[in-house]
Every structure is written in structure tokens, then in C-alpha cells.
Structure 1
């Protein structure tokens, strides 16, 4: 009888120790995972900010060689962001902008395509998605207006539906130019009118 009780007590003790160890181990793993993710997020944000600053400097630098050097560094920062957070659209968008500035327009479009597809699309707000669509449409028209006009119009019309947070004057103006190029005069006139309405009051003189 005593032997049986001893065995049961021993089993309970072992089970308690195992449960304690499991809880501690899982908690540590969860904390480690959280810390790792938090560090990765902070690192991603820092690199995105750095890449954005580099791009801004590249655009305003009159000396081409310096501008290209800054854009290349921004591209490297964007690639690092993508390596850490591949499902974050921001890294792909920054990469696209850097490539576009470097003259690699087809590659830039591919990066925008990556940013605007699932699951990366989920990381964009409505306004950010609209802005990205407008910029992608501009790139498509710059690469080959005649061949990509319909695709660009699709992006712009989707941006109109989203609208929030984007430069609506620029959006409608570009859409009007596309409609005009396609010979859709009434739609073009409507888009240009919407662009005028969206202009700041100081521009309209009101």
C-alpha cells in the first residue's frame, strides 16, 4: 500500500515538474518571439525612414552622380527591409521608387506589383493603396503609354474608388489625360473638371 502511494506521489511530483517546465519554456519562447518581432519591427521602421530620406535627397540633388548614389543606397536599405519583413508593402514600394529613380522602370513596376498583391496589400491603408496605384499608373504610362494605357486606367479608376488620403487633383488630372489619349472626350472632360474641383482654394482664387 505504502509503495503504491509512494509511486503515485512520485508520479504527481514528476507531472508537476513537467508542467512547470513546459509553462516556463513556452513563456520564454513566447517572450523571445515577441522581443525578436519587436526588434525586427523597429529595425524595419528605421531602415524605411532612412531609405525615404535618401530618396528625398536623391530627388533634390542636382548632381546626377550623387543622386544615383543616394538612390542606390536607398535601394539597399529597401532590400534589407524586404529581407526582414517580406509581407510589408512599404519595403517593396520604396524599392520601386528607388529603381524608378535609377531608370530601371520595368523592375520598378514589378516591385509595385509585389506591393499591391496579397498578402502585402493588407499592410497598406486605403489612402496608401490609392497613392501606390496612382504612382504605378504613372510608371506604366512612362514605360509604354500606348501598350499600358488600359492597365493604367484600371489603376486610376480603382484609386478613384478608394480616393481617401490621396492627391485627388493629380489623380483626376492623370485620369483625364488617359481618357483623352483613348479618345473618350466626355470622360476626359469629367475627370479634368474633378481635378479642378480638387485643387486647393488658393489655386482656384477663392
Structure 2
């Protein structure tokens, strides 16, 4: 019994120190993990897989060798899948899976994982700010896939994102880029101005405004 309690405490420390730092670095919802009840053995097992997956993904991102990075990212996705299997309503596990898949170059599958994280089944596990971050990440992926038909969808995600998270200058900046793609110069300028309002030294936003003649 004592060993089990110690094990739970150890997992809590890992979550607060290692995973929380990971979430901060990669714009993953930062409070989702704190809402998990440690009284459930299933939830605890899910969090163990999540912690292992987060650690693997962190190593993958810092790996200099592409083959090693891909292998680590694949293992991270597998751990995320295990966490999802145990607790499919935990949006953080789906987001971890999305990040691992993205690192492997599987953008469409990463987008699918984010869709699940933001679905009615899982989105309730996110705070408003976390939901804003997840929406922004999904919009980023849509833009990165360079498909014109996804621009409107990306804009919709970004509009919702800044409602939940008003202090993310990158969300406003990417909105500006999307509006430019659609030829909506007035809206693009407004988005870049909003980015600068949040972060006055956001150089690329200022350069975009200068380019548009503002």
C-alpha cells in the first residue's frame, strides 16, 4: 500500500515538473492534467502512458538525427494511443498524439487527432485558454497543409481561438495571413494590428503591416 502511494506521488511530481514544462514549451493545454483524479487506477495508468509519451516527444524534438527523431515520435504516438485507450475523454492525450504524428509528417492524421480533442466527448476536459490553444494548433496545421479549401476553416478556428485566448499574438498573425490569402486586406491589417497590440515587438506582424501599406 505504501509503495502504491509513493508511486502515485512520484507520478504527480513527474506530471507537475516534466509534463507541465513540456506542455508550456509546445503550446499544449497546460491545465488539463491537473483535472485528472489520481484515485482511479485506470486514469493513473493513462497518465503514466501520457508522461512517457511526453518525455519521448520531448526527446524527439531535441534529437539531431532525423531517423532517431522519427522513431522517438512514433513511440510517443504509441504511448498516446495507450493513454487514449484507457481514457478517451482526456483531450491532452489526443493532443499529444497529434503533436507526435505531426513531427513524423502525418499532418492529416494529426489533424484528425486534434478534431477528436476538440470534439464534444473530450473538449470538456479543457479550460477556455487550453481550448484556445488547441484551436490555434489545429488552425496552424490546416494552414501548413497549404490547401486553399481549408483557409475558411482555419479562420473559423482562429476566430474562436482568440475568443478563448486573447493573449496569443500568433493566432492574430496567422489570421492575418489567412485573410491575405483570401484577398481580405482590411481584415488582414486588423489582425496584424491585434497581434501588435498583444505583443508590440512582434516584428513579423509589423513587417506585414508595412508591406500592406499601413
Structure-1 residue corresponding to 2:81? 79
- State the distance in 2 between where 1:64 and 1:43 align: 30
Residues 195 and 202 in structure 2, CA contact (< 8 A), matched pair in contact too: no
Structure-1 residue corresponding to 2:27? none
Q: For the pair shown, which has the larger CA radius of gyration, 1 or 2?
A: 1
Note the C-alpha offset of 1:40: 1.7
Structure-1 residue corresponding to 2:196? 196
Correspondence for 1:66 among 59, 62, 68: 68
SS at match of 1:144: coil
Structure-2 residue corresponding to 1:171? 171
Structure-1 residue corresponding to 2:19? none
Note the C-alpha offset of 1:186: 1.1
Note the C-alpha offset of 1:122: 0.6
Structure-2 residue corresponding to 1:53? 55
Note the C-alpha offset of 1:191: 0.8
- State the distance in 2 between where 1:72 and 1:180 align: 35
1:126-145 aligned at under 5 Å gives the runs 126-145=128-147
1:21-60 aligned at under 5 Å gives the runs 38-60=40-62
Encode CA deviations 1:3-58: one digit per residue, 9 max, x unaligned. Answer: xxxxxxxxxxxxxxxxxxxxxxxxxxxxxxxx996122222222222212221221
1:106-117 aligned at under 5 Å gives the runs 106-117=108-119
- State the distance in 2 between where 1:93 and 1:141 align: 18
- State the distance in 1 between where 2:190 and 2:179 align: 10
Structure-1 residue corresponding to 2:124? 122
Residue correspondences, number = 167
- State the distance in 2 between where 1:115 and 1:36 align: 21
Encode CA deviations 1:90-142: one digit per residue, 9 max, x unaligned. Answer: 11111111111111111111111111111211111111111111110111111
Q: Say if 1:186 and 1:36 are closer, same or farther in 2 by CA, change over 3 A.
A: closer
- State the distance in 2 between where 1:36 and 1:189 align: 47
Note the C-alpha offset of 1:70: 0.8
**Larger proportion of helix:** 1
* Aligned-residue RMSD, C-alpha: 2.0
- State the distance in 2 between where 1:202 and 1:117 align: 32
Structure-2 residue corresponding to 1:5? none
TM-score by structure 2 length? 0.73
Task: Choose between structure 1 and 2 for higher RCO, CA contacts under 8 A separated by at least 6 residues.
Answer: 2
Gaps of 5+ in 1: 1-34
Q: After the TM superposition, which segments of 4 or more aligned residues of structure 1 sit over 6 Å from their partners? A: 200-203
